[in-house]
């Protein structure tokens, strides 16, 4: 009987040790997600704490073995984990509280991490990223699609794996084509599209209508202010009132028949000044079309887009030579161009 008790006690001790070991492994993995485990049971800070902050709609997370994980807020994400979103579904995850990523609907991405080097592999759909603080010298964050890779450091924007296009909102990155090795620098409000020949097409100040809803919802007021946009995306597609029809330029009702002038064709102008009073007369094919006057009473004029008929100008109907002569008689110094 004593021998049986000893054997039972030994079995219980073994089971307890196994249980402790299993709990320790689980705790170590959880600590690694918290950035506190170094593999030897000791704790230390690591570069990246990966967590699924929240999800909306139908989102699935699987581990490195393809086993689906139960969703919850602050769910730890480890190297090898994959995230998948369905239609009208989104997921947000952070990478040490200064690096936010958001997946669009119908997207797939996975995580690779080694020490302080992190890769986000976008296999399908689109991924938004916002790195609020520059990375340390010994840290790296890389976003990859099937055809290109982007080194991220203190940057925000999004990548579309379907069109192989990178869009940068803030900061500057280097984008590289995996097959051809071509590299381009992409700065804020610029997009880089990887062409079939392995080269990049850059578009500076891309159309705000290209900003998808899942990115728009994450942008701050400063970003909208830089583009002079309303934070309401619907305003982009609002029907605008048509511009008013331009007023017809009044055509002179006289011709130069019988008049002697050397300025019958092309554009010419007269600049005349008498103290603070200045006339500028513009001619086309010898006919006065626009006149400006700047004197003590202010600025005004006739013709063109001024809104006052050219016929009211005192030099209307005169040739360039006649107007110049009349201005000289009034004490103006005259220059003809």
Verify that 185 and 274 share a domain, yes or no: no
Verify that 136 and 220 share a domain, yes or no: yes
Is 1 a member of any domain? no
Is 286 a member of any domain? yes
Which pair of tokens denotes residue 131? 């790195």
Length of the chain in terms of residues written: 337
Verify that 185 and 116 share a domain, yes or no: yes
**pLDDT tens column, 170-193:** 999 999 999 999 999 999 999 999
**pLDDT tens column, 31-48:** 444 444 444 433 333 335
Structural domains counted in the chain: 2
pTM: 0.59
Verify that 78 and 149 share a domain, yes or no: yes
> Of 20-24, 50-54, 74-78, 122-126, which range is least confident?
20-24
The Cα–Cα gap between 284 and 218 comes to: 55
Asked whether residue 123 carries a pLDDT value surpassing 50, the answer given is yes
Question: Three-state DSSP class for 324?
Answer: helix
The whole-number pLDDT of residue 278 equals 93
Asked whether residue 9 carries a pLDDT value surpassing 80, the answer given is no
Question: Three-state DSSP class for 209?
Answer: helix
Residue ranges making up the domain that contains 330: 267-336
Verify that 90 and 219 share a domain, yes or no: yes
Is 198 a member of any domain? yes
Return the closest-CA partner of residue 303 out of 311, 295, 315: 311
The whole-number pLDDT of residue 70 equals 92
Verify that 228 and 145 share a domain, yes or no: yes
Is 262 a member of any domain? no
Verify that 198 and 274 share a domain, yes or no: no
The enclosing domain of 109 has a CATH number of 2.60.120.1440
Verify that 318 and 201 share a domain, yes or no: no
Contacts with 169 (C-beta within 8 Å, 6 or more apart), sequence order? 156, 157, 188, 189, 215, 219, 223
Containing 176, the helix (H) or strand (E) segment is: strand 173-177
pLDDT band at residue 132 using 50, 70 and 90 as cut-offs: confident
Verify that 103 and 224 share a domain, yes or no: yes
Work out the mean pLDDT of the chain and round it to a whole number.
81
The whole-number pLDDT of residue 255 equals 60
Verify that 154 and 277 share a domain, yes or no: no
Is 294 a member of any domain? yes
Is 33 a member of any domain? no
Which pair of tokens denotes residue 151? 């080194």
Which pair of tokens denotes residue 207? 């159309």
Q: Across residues 261-277, what is the average pLDDT?
A: 90
Verify that 226 and 154 share a domain, yes or no: yes
Q: Give the residue from 237, 252, 285 where a domain finishes.
A: 237
Verify that 107 and 207 share a domain, yes or no: yes
């Amino acid at each position: 009987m004593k021998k049986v008790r000893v054997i039972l006690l030994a079995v219980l001790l073994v089971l307890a040790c196994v249980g402790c070991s299993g709990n320790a492994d689980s705790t170590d993995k959880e600590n690694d997600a918290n950035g506190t485990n170094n593999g030897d049971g000791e704790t230390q800070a690591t570069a990246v704490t990966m967590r699924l902050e929240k999800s909306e709609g139908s989102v699935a997370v699987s581990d490195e073995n393809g086993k689906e994980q139960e969703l919850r807020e602050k769910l730890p994400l480890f190297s090898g984990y994959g995230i998948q979103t369905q239609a009208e579904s989104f997921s947000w995850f952070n990478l040490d509280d200064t690096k936010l990523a958001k997946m669009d609907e119908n997207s797939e991405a996975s995580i690779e991490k080694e020490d302080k080097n992190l890769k986000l592999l976008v296999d399908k759909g689109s991924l938004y990223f916002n790195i609020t603080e520059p990375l340390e010298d010994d840290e790296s964050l890389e976003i990859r699609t099937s055809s290109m890779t982007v080194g991220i450091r203190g940057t925000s924007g999004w990548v579309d794996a379907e069109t192989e296009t990178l869009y940068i909102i803030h900061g500057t990155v280097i984008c590289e084509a995996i097959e051809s090795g071509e590299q381009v620098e992409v700065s804020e409000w610029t997009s880089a599209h990887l062409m079939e020949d392995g080269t990049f097409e850059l578009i500076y100040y891309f159309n705000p209508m290209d900003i998808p809803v899942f990115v728009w919802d994450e942008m701050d007021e400063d970003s909208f202010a830089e583009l002079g946009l309303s934070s309401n995306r619907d305003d982009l597609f609002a029907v605008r009132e048509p511009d008013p029809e331009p007023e017809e330029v009044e055509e002179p009702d006289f011709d130069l028949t019988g008049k002697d002038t050397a300025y019958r064709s092309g554009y010419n102008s007269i600049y005349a000044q008498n103290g603070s009073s200045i006339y500028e007369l513009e001619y086309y094919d010898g006919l006065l079309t626009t006149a400006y006057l700047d004197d003590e009473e202010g600025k005004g004029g006739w013709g063109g887009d001024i809104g006052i008929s050219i016929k009211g100008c005192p030099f209307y109907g005169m040739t360039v030579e006649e107007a110049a002569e009349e201005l000289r008689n009034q004490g103006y110094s005259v220059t003809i161009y």
